[in-house]
Amino acid sequence: MDADSLSRRERQVLDVLYTKSEATARGVAEALREPQSLDAVRMTLGILEKKGIITHRRDGRRHVYRPTRPADHARRSAWSRMTRTFFSGSPSKAILSLLDMSGDKLDDDELDQLSAWVKQQARARKKRSNR
């Protein structure tokens, strides 16, 4: 099941679970700042569990929910969706936009890390093309 097939509400609930690693329905509702919607959160958790996206364990009378896939999978899926939606599928356009928005918020160490990564990627590409 891909995150693209989730409703906005299902994604919100799943985001909470990735942020917290695991949570009860009440914990999810509180994280969404919607404690009055506990029944709706429970229903959404049930749907996500039926889809195989989350699972639960029992802790006394409570169910504690967690994602079935690692956070890295969710990050890749979200990045892919965002890149397709806003940047015509171009990772470089997405990265440049992010860097442009970060602008003066990047410190010298972060800029040095980015520069070193770009140089490393260029060397690796050159090495592959010379084979």
Tokens standing for residue 126: 């050159």
Using CA atoms, how far apart are residues 46 and 44, in angstroms rounded to an integer? 5
Q: What is the pLDDT of residues 12-70, one digit of tens each?
A: 999 999 999 999 999 999 999 987 889 999 999 999 999 999 999 999 999 999 999 99
Domain spans, the chain: 3-67, 90-131
Closest CA to 94 of 81, 106, 105, 104: 81
Q: Yes or no: is domain 3-67 CATH 2.70.170.10? A: no
Q: What mean pLDDT is reported for the chain?
A: 90
